[in-house]
Each structure stands twice: as structure tokens, then as C-alpha cells.
Amino acid sequence: MHFSKSDRLKQLPPYLFVELDRKKAEAVARGVDVIDLGIGDPDLPTPQFIVDRMVEAVRNPAYHRYPSSSGMPRFRQAAADWCMERFGLSLDPAQEIVCLIGSKEAIAHFPVAFLNPGDVVLVPTPGYPVYHIGTLFAGGETWYMPLTAENDFLPDLDSIPADILRRARIMWLNYPNNPTAAVATSDFFARVVDFARENEIIVCHDAAYSEMTYDDYKAPSFLETPGAKEVGLEFHSLSKTFNMTGWRIGFAAGHPELTGGLRQIKSNVDSGQFEAVQEAAIAALASDQSCVRAMQKVYTERRDTLVSGLRELGLEAPFPKATFYVWIPVPEGHTSTGFSSLLLEEAGIVCTPGNGFGEPGEGYVRMALTVARERMEEVVDRIREVL
């Protein structure tokens, strides 16, 4: 019997990191000592006090039943308190915050609540593939906003055609940015609020890397911008902030009609996050954040080792202010795919070709700061031999 996949699945490009895993596995099978700077998965462990809270909570039979799809009131209060402490935001935990099973599922689900066939979603490129995938699954159309060095990797809102704006329903933003590591200013966010109000567009800001910052830089929240809560929603993840990628926990905050729509979708497609995980997340959010500062210090050392070394080799690698990615222009005469293949085949280094995140990413590779500083030194040494 033949099983035909849906048209939606047939339209999907191969998921970028699946292909990276395949190539890495082939190299490992050949006996290569691979250094993986491809997928952004922290190598640092979850802080012990968070693990201890999870161990304690998982023994509590009260948490063995179905959770609320909105999240425990105590979790939502902890998220609201963290937003107040970090950004000065006043949020109603009952109406303006919803618990997520990691921000990825919510990014994929949100368009289902607010898109109709023929509606347009404005998506940054290069960018996180799920912005487009969620649009596709909801029956919408993607219009890509190029992020280029000439515009500091910010979308040029004035270049969006009028006929696209008439059909646009949602705009995705992501700062600090994956994959470019760019940051956004408060002035840019203010422009976005005016733009969204003028064109009746919902702004969805993916703030997964807001706490992964360096050199005393503090990333702003989109919701800090006057009027932002009236036009948008912000997605926060504990994955990178607290090294909890496998735990799958985050929250969305913003306009109550937007959180309400997302909550309605989630109540029909999932049963909420395990409450023991929420207890661990409460411990993380309510802590003194010293674990975050320690994490920032580790990544700063790795960033400085990698970027300084690459610059000595003649590569124009920038020192990012945020994220644990370095967005590197490839050497003259190379393409993104060609250079990343060269590094894997001749140096055993896995990095991500920039064009895998979208056409404007051609000419770049992304390296993640997800190995120890000593291995970063080895990365530089191996690239030196190749170049």
C-alpha cells in the first residue's frame, strides 16, 4: 500500500539540522574527530539547583495528573515577576502569560490561531525555519524580509510592497538574532510598533536569546516599547538562558487576545507541560540569576578565543554582542556550502552554511560557541591548516 504525504509536507524543505546530523554521522563513521559547531544546543549542564527542584517535584503525586494547558498559576506568576525584574514589565499572569512546551511549538502553533488562507506572514531571512513552517502549516503565505549587513541585519520595513501589506497579518522578529547574532535598538522597536499599528499587523518577537549577552550589553524586550503590548506578543525560552533545551519549557507574554488565541490552540492540541518541569522553571526564574552570569562568562571566553583566532587568519569574524553564534563571511572564492563542506571534510569541523537559513545567508557560515575553550583553540588551529 502506498501512503501519500499531504501537500503541506511536500512543500517543506529538508530541515536544515537533519542534513547536518547526517553529514556529521558520516564523518564520525570514517573515524574523524568531529568538533560540532553546527546546532545551537548548549553543552553546559542545567544548574544543579534546577535539577534538584525537578527531582523533588517529580516525586510529588500531585504533579502526576494532567496539567493546565495555560500553565500553573505559580509558573505564570514567576514568569511575570522575572519580566518585571528584568525588563520593568507589568504583566497580568492570568491573562497575559501562557506556558509553552518550549517556544518552538508555540511559534509553530501561533499562526493557526490568527491566519486564514491567503493571509501573509512577514518572515525574516536568514532566519529560524519554523517561522515559515508554521505559516505553511496554517495555510498562510510567507513574504520574506531580507536581513543584510548593509541594514545591520534589520528588516527594511519601507521596502515591503503595499499589496503585501494589505494581506499581511503577522510579522516575525527575532533579536538578539539567530543566525546573524545582530541586535535591535529601542528606536527600531518603536518604528515596528508604529508600522504594526498603521498596517494592523500582529508582531511576534522571538526573544530566545535575550539573556545570552556579552560586554555589559542588555538586550531590550520588544514589550518595553511604548504601545508594543497593544500590537504584539513575545516568546521567551528557558532553553538557552538556563541550559534547559531538553526540558522544553518557555512562555509567551503580551496582548491578552493574542495569548488567549494561543491558549485556545494549545488546549486543543496538547495537554500542557509536566508540572514538575514547571516547578524547576520556577526555581530558575526566581533565582538570583548568578547562573546566567556564569554562563555568559563561559561563552564570552569562547567567543573571544574563536573570533580573535579567526581574525588572525584573515576571516572577518565580528565579536557578537549576543547569542552564542558567530556569523562569519566566508573567504573570497568560496560559497557557504562549499566552505562548510571544506571545513568538515578537511578539518572535521561542523558549521552551518548561511544559505541554509535563507538566500541572503549566502556568503556566510554560522558557528556556535558550544564546545569548550580548548576545543575552540583547536578549531582555529585546524582552520589555519586548511587555509
Cβ atoms of 96 and 254 closer than 8 Å: yes
Measured N-to-C along each axis, helices 256-269 and 103-114 cross at an angle, to the nearest 10 degrees, of: 110
Each residue of 242-258: pLDDT tens digit? Answer: 999 999 999 999 999 99
Each residue of 347-383: pLDDT tens digit? Answer: 999 999 999 999 999 999 999 999 999 999 999 999 9
226 has pLDDT over 70? yes
Query: What does the pLDDT read at residue 140?
Result: 97
Q: Which of 8-22, 140-154, 309-323 has the lowest mean pLDDT?
A: 8-22
Query: What does the pLDDT read at residue 15?
Result: 64
Phi/psi at 121 (nearest 5 deg)? -115, 130
Query: What does the pLDDT read at residue 17?
Result: 66
Query: What does the pLDDT read at residue 39?
Result: 83
Could you tell me which residues come within 8 angstroms of residue 4 by beta carbon, excluding any fewer than 6 positions away? Answer: none
Cβ atoms of 63 and 275 closer than 8 Å: yes
Question: Cell 515596528 sits at which residue?
Answer: 192
Each residue of 29-83: pLDDT tens digit? Answer: 888 899 999 988 999 999 999 999 999 999 999 999 999 888 999 999 999 999 9
CATH class of this structure's domain 48-286: alpha beta
Q: Does domain 7-45+290-386 have CATH number 3.20.20.70?
A: no
Question: Cell 486543543 sits at which residue?
Answer: 268
Cis-peptide, bond into residue 179, ω within 30° of zero = yes
Domain boundaries, the chain: 7-45+290-386, 48-286
Each residue of 180-206: pLDDT tens digit? Answer: 999 999 999 999 999 999 999 999 999
Query: What does the pLDDT read at residue 16?
Result: 64
Query: Span 298-312, mean pLDDT?
Result: 98
Domains 7-45+290-386 and 48-286 alike in fold? no
293 has pLDDT over 80? yes
Residue-level length of the chain:
387
Could you tell me which residues come within 8 angstroms of residue 117 by beta carbon, excluding any fewer than 6 positions away? Answer: 139, 140
Query: What does the pLDDT read at residue 12?
Result: 80
3-state secondary structure the chain: CCCCCCHHHHHCCCCHHHHHHHHHHHHHHCCCCCEECCCCCCCCCCCHHHHHHHHHHHCCHHHHCCCCCCCCHHHHHHHHHHHHHHHCCCCCCCCCEEEECCHHHHHHHHHHHHCCCCCEEEEEECCCCHHHHHHHHCCCEEEEEECCHHHCCCCCHHHCCHHHHHHEEEEEECCCCCCCCCCCCHHHHHHHHHHHHHHCCEEEEECCCCCCECCCCCCCCHHHCCCHHHHEEEEEEHHHHCCCHHHCCEEEEECHHHHHHHHHHHHHHCCCCCHHHHHHHHHHHHCCCHHHHHHHHHHHHHHHHHHHHHHHCCCCCCCCCECCEEEEECCCCCCHHHHHHHHHHHHCEECEEHHHHCHHHCCEEEEECCCCHHHHHHHHHHHHHHC
